[in-house]
């Protein structure tokens, strides 16, 4: 009988951003993220007797050769860590809970779900347990930000003297230290534009190598990780908001001063940002925004403010598709 395992794993949203890397997916600065709950990938991996073709990858039950090739390369890369990979061919089926074409980066959920399946199979075959840190390391080799998704709550990835046990090869969870207010934070994602990005994340990371401001940006991220870590511990929402918004705009500033320059925000991204700041000033409700490498706006706020914030969102942003998400528990075996 063929072996098959199935896992679901969520996406995550960075609060301090990873933008710029070296060697093989090693970050140039540490980053901190919230793992989400509803935006996830559900992935099954079936091992079959070795055949000429290494991987058949199905997304939404349709064969997807392009992503299949990316996975094949990934499996080759990690076969030193998981030698059983050399002995089988793979049927991999994946689907996302977030609707198609919503512009949500899915590589974090996709590669963390896949890494969980692969280490699960390894422990079945070799009767040995691989640590969650190793799962994070393997997810990183698929897509950098994926390494933060193997934990629920808050994760940090990237070595910094300010956080014990932090490492460039894998993420670690920060949950024990984090104030409860941040454990139930909400993230309403406003889909401003669902089209494929004009510049991919990999191209964006690469442009940091020649960006004259990159060293300043990395230094700023080290400082912001330290300050955000303290804010998360102390429950200091004002400081949280200041850093998270600064990080989002710094990320996009880097894109605008790369060579060649590029802009991923849309006019509506800025309109929404202004509305959020206005709403916060008028009501003193602690709500803020962040952006991924794209035009969509993540609106972050404590769960206790849900009714008022969602009323504001539905009155001011009712013409957009919205994904209501919140901080979640991390991957789950199905
Ligand atoms: O994991 P990648 O290579 O797709 O890069 C992700 C980069 C950002 O989403 C912009 C920031 C982050 O830390 O997740």
- The residue-averaged pLDDT of 68-73 equals 94
In the Cβ-directed half-sphere of 315, how many Cα atoms lie within 13 Å?
Answer: 8
Distance, CA of 166 to CA of 293 (rounded, Å) = 24
From the CB of 14, is ligand 1 less than 6 Å away? yes
Cβ atoms within 10 Å of 213's Cβ, excluding its own: 14
Distance, CA of 6 to CA of 114 (rounded, Å) = 9
| Helices (H) then strands (E): counts for the chain | 8, 14
Share the mean pLDDT of the chain. Answer: 95
Q: By alpha-carbon position, which residue is closest to atom 4 of ligand 1?
A: 201
For residue 178, what are its two tokens?
A: 């984090």
- The residue-averaged pLDDT of 274-290 equals 98
Distance, CA of 232 to CA of 180 (rounded, Å) = 9
Q: Which helix (H) or strand (E) holds 46?
A: strand 31-49
- DSSP character for 176? G
CA-wise closest residue to 190 among 104, 112, 258:
104
Residues 6+ apart with CB under 8 A from 232: 32, 154, 174, 177, 178, 179, 182, 240
pLDDT of residue 105: 66
Confidence of residue 194 (pLDDT cuts 50, 70, 90): confident
List beta partners, residue 324: 188
List beta partners, residue 172: 156
From the CB of 18, is ligand 1 less than 6 Å away? yes
Distance, CA of 240 to CA of 227 (rounded, Å) = 8
For residue 216, what are its two tokens?
A: 């300043």
pLDDT of residue 101: 62
Confidence of residue 1 (pLDDT cuts 50, 70, 90): low
Percent of the chain exceeding pLDDT 90 equals 89
Q: Which of 13, 16, 19, 199 to probe ligand 1 with, by most ligand atoms within 8 A of CB?
A: 19
From the CB of 145, is ligand 1 less than 6 Å away? yes
- The residue-averaged pLDDT of 104-121 equals 92
3-state DSSP helix/strand/coil % of the chain, to nearest 5: 45, 25, 30
Residue 249 buriedness (CB in 10 A; 0-12 / 13-18 / 19+): middle
CB 191 within 8 A of CB 103: yes
From the CB of 35, is ligand 1 less than 6 Å away? no
Compute the distance from residue 146 Cα to the ligand 1 centre, in Å: 8
- DSSP character for 261? -
pLDDT of residue 196: 77
Percent of the chain exceeding pLDDT 70 equals 98
From the CB of 111, is ligand 1 less than 6 Å away? no
Q: Which of 293, 294, 295, 298 to probe ligand 1 with, by most ligand atoms within 8 A of CB?
A: 293
Residue 77 buriedness (CB in 10 A; 0-12 / 13-18 / 19+): middle
For residue 40, what are its two tokens?
A: 């996830």
For helices 306-316 and 267-283, angle between their N-to-C axes, nearest 10 degrees: 140
Which pLDDT tens digit goes with each residue over 8-47? 999 999 999 999 999 999 999 999 999 999 999 999 999 9
From the CB of 280, is ligand 1 less than 6 Å away? no
For residue 163, what are its two tokens?
A: 């956080």
pLDDT of residue 138: 97
As a whole number of Å, the CA-based R_g of the chain is 20
Spatial strand order of the sheet with 321-326 comes to: 288-291, 297-301, 186-191, 321-326
| DSSP string computed for 271-301 | HHHHHHHHHHHHH----EEEE-SSS-EEEEE
Compute the distance from residue 201 Cα to the ligand 1 centre, in Å: 7
CA-wise closest residue to 138 among 107, 165, 116:
116
């Amino acid at each position: 009988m063929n072996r098959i395992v199935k896992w679901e794993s969520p996406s995550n949203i960075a609060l301090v951003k990873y933008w710029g890397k070296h060697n093989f997916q090693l970050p140039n600065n540490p980053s901190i993220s919230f793992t989400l709950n509803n935006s996830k990938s559900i992935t099954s991996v079936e091992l079959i007797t070795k055949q000429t073709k290494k991987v058949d990858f199905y997304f939404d039950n349709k064969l997807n050769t392009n992503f299949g090739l990316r996975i094949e390369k990934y499996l080759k890369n990690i076969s030193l860590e998981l030698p059983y990979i050399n002995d089988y061919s793979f049927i991999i089926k994946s689907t996302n809970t977030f609707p198609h074409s919503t512009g949500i980066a899915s590589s974090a959920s996709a590669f963390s779900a896949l890494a969980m399946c692969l280490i699960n199979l390894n422990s079945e075959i070799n009767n040995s347990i691989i640590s969650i840190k190793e799962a994070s390391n393997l997810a990183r080799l698929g897509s950098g930000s994926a390494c933060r998704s193997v934990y629920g709550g808050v994760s940090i990835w990237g070595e910094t003297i300010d956080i014990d046990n932090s490492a460039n090869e894998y993420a670690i969870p920060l949950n024990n230290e984090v104030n409860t207010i941040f454990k139930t934070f909400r993230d309403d994602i406003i889909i401003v534009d669902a089209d494929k990005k004009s510049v991919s994340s990999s191209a964006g990371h690469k442009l940091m190598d020649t960006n004259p401001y990159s060293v300043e940006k990395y230094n700023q991220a080290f400082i912001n990780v330290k300050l955000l870590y303290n804010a998360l511990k102390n429950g200091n929402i004002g400081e949280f908001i200041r850093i998270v918004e600064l990080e989002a705009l710094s990320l996009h500033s880097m894109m605008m001063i790369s060579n060649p320059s590029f802009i991923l925000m849309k006019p509506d991204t800025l309109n929404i940002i202004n509305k959020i700041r206005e709403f916060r000033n008028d009501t003193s409700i602690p709500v803020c925004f962040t952006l991924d490498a794209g035009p969509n706006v993540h609106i972050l706020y404590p769960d206790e403010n849900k009714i008022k914030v969602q009323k504001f969102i539905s009155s001011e942003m009712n013409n957009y598709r919205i994904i209501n998400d919140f901080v979640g528990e991390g991957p789950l075996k199905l």
